[in-house]
């Protein structure tokens, strides 16, 4: 028993698992319509877009050196607009448009990575700048000359485009089963089982040591920013397909929620520390929380606040338990 408690306190992933189970139990008992197959599968779709951004944030923060990507929300927006405009206004084949959108996302992430690695400007500043530049580009792309100088959403997609965001397989949303879960598994292999993963943790926890042991620090960092661009792009594609509209105002404010979830998941803001399991649980906890609160009819104004309370509360509780055990 003592050992289990120790595990819970010392291991962030375990701690989050317990938190998840408690939250789940509370909602299952007290909230009507929560504990049904329909709701439990249906709610997963709302974790995907923010979840992909949180995973992107995890990779970037892990790489250390003050790593952070404030532009994930803007990359989501711009990719959504690229895909939307190419399909809806240019009339391009959807597959090709999606391919171009995802490539653009990678390109923008790559650019962030190069600026961070080779100019030595702080990631916070680089990605804060790209947050605004990419957002502005998204607005420019959204301008429809037929309606003057104003950005307009695009919503004339072929029915096939909605497959990713709106279809179900055995009740489970397609994007969860065929994109989100595979992405999590791939990232798990990348972080826990591959050489690159070891390099990444190495670079994040001790840059100098990594450098002396012959790791190409710059290349590792460029890679994670590029992956961050790709994950944001995937998120932009999925959200466009789900809401059937490409909008230049979608994704605003997502970057901070994504960072919050990554940190809640146990990723140390100093880099080099944190497990993908924790971040996935963080995503699950937030998705659960939003769903449970909405079903319980709790006023919307409490929802964003609850994210902050859960973050501070869980860290505080973790620390208190740790301190008590050491006494």
Binding interface with another protein (CB under 8 A): 32-33, 36, 38-39, 42, 46, 49, 147-148, 150, 153, 155, 162, 166, 239, 242-245, 247, 249-250, 252, 290-291, 294-295, 297, 299-301, 303-304
- We find the least distance from the C-beta atom of residue 292 to another protein, in angstroms, to be 10
Beta carbon of residue 172, minimum distance to another protein (angstroms, whole number): 15
Going from the C-alpha of 180 to that of each of 7, 155, 293, the distances in angstroms are: 28, 24, 24
C-alpha–C-alpha distance, residues 250 and 72, integer Å: 12
Q: Which is nearer to another protein, 149 or 214 (CB)?
A: 149
**CB of 207 or CB of 255, closer to another protein:** 255
**Residues 75 and 236: beta-carbon distance below 8 Å:** yes
Angle at Cα 307 formed by Cα 69 and Cα 249, nearest 5°?
55
Q: How far is the CB of 156 from another protein (least distance, A)?
A: 8
Residue 152 Cβ vs another protein, minimum distance, rounded to whole Å: 9
Residue 7 or 160 having the CB closest to another protein: 160
- Report how far residue 51's alpha carbon sits from residue 179's, in angstroms, rounded to the nearest whole number: 11
Of 166 and 268, nearer to another protein (C-beta) is: 166
How far, in Å, are 113, 200, 222 from residue 278 at the CA level? 25, 17, 24
- With contact defined as beta carbons under 8 Å apart, do 52 and 234 qualify? yes
Task: Tell which residue, 43, 20, 52, has the closest CA to residue 287.
Answer: 43
Q: Which of 273, 312, 292 is nearest to 13 (CA)?
A: 273
Distance CA 18, CA 26 (A): 12
Nearer to another protein, 168 or 193 (CB): 168
Q: Nearer Cβ to another protein, position 148 or 214?
A: 148
**154: which strand partners?**
246
**Cβ proximity to another protein, 51 vs 153, nearer residue:** 153
CB of 233 to another protein, least distance (A): 17
Nearest approach in angstroms of CB 162 to another protein is 7
DSSP state of 245: -
Residue 114, CB-side half-sphere exposure with 13 Å CA sphere: 6
Alpha-carbon distance of 73 to 131, in angstroms, equals 8
Q: CA 327, CA 322: separation in Å to the nearest integer?
A: 9
Residue 149 beta carbon to another protein: minimum distance, rounded to whole angstroms? 9
| Least spacing, CB of residue 252 vs another protein, in Å | 8
Q: Which is nearer to another protein, 123 or 251 (CB)?
A: 251
Minimum CB separation of residue 87 from another protein in Å reads 14
What is the token pair recorded at 104? 């653009």
Q: Whose Cβ is closer to another protein: residue 112's or residue 291's?
A: 291
As given in the structure block, the two tokens for residue 58 are 């995890």
DSSP 316: H
Concatenate the DSSP letters of all residues of 78-109 into one string.
HHHHHHHHIIIII---HHHHHHHHHHHHHHHH
């Amino acid at each position: 028993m003592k050992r289990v408690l120790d595990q819970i306190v010392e291991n962030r992933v375990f701690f989050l698992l317990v938190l998840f189970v408690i939250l789940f139990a509370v909602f299952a008992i007290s909230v009507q319509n929560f504990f049904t197959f329909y709701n439990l599968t249906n709610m997963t779709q709302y974790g995907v877009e923010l979840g992909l951004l949180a995973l992107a944030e995890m990779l970037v923060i892990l790489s250390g050196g003050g790593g952070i990507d404030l532009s994930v929300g803007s990359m989501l927006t711009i990719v959504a607009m690229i895909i939307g405009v190419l399909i809806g206004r240019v009339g391009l084949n959807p597959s090709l448009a999606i391919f171009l959108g995802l490539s653009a996302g990678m390109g923008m992430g790559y650019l962030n990575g190069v600026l961070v690695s080779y100019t030595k400007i702080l990631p916070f500043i680089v990605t804060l700048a790209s947050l605004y530049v990419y957002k502005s580009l998204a607005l420019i792309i959204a301008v429809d000359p037929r309606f003057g100088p104003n950005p307009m959403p695009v919503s004339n997609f072929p029915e096939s485009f909605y497959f990713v965001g709106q279809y179900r397989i055995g009740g489970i949303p397609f994007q969860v089963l065929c994109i989100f879960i595979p992405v999590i598994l791939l990232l798990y292999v990348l972080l826990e089982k591959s050489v690159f993963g070891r390099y990444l943790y190495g670079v994040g926890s001790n840059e100098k040591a990594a450098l002396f042991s012959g790791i190409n620090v710059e290349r590792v960092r460029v890679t994670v920013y590029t992956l961050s661009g790709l994950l944001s792009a995937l998120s932009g594609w999925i959200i466009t397909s789900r809401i059937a509209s490409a909008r230049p105002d979608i994704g605003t404010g997502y970057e901070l929620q994504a960072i919050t979830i990554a940190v809640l998941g146990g990723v140390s803001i100093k880099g080099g520390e944190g497990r993908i399991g924790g971040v996935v649980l963080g995503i699950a906890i937030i998705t659960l929380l939003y769903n449970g609160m909405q079903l319980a009819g709790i006023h919307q104004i409490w929802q964003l606040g609850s994210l902050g309370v859960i973050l501070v509360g869980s860290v505080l509780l973790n620390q208190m338990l740790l301190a008590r055990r050491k006494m």
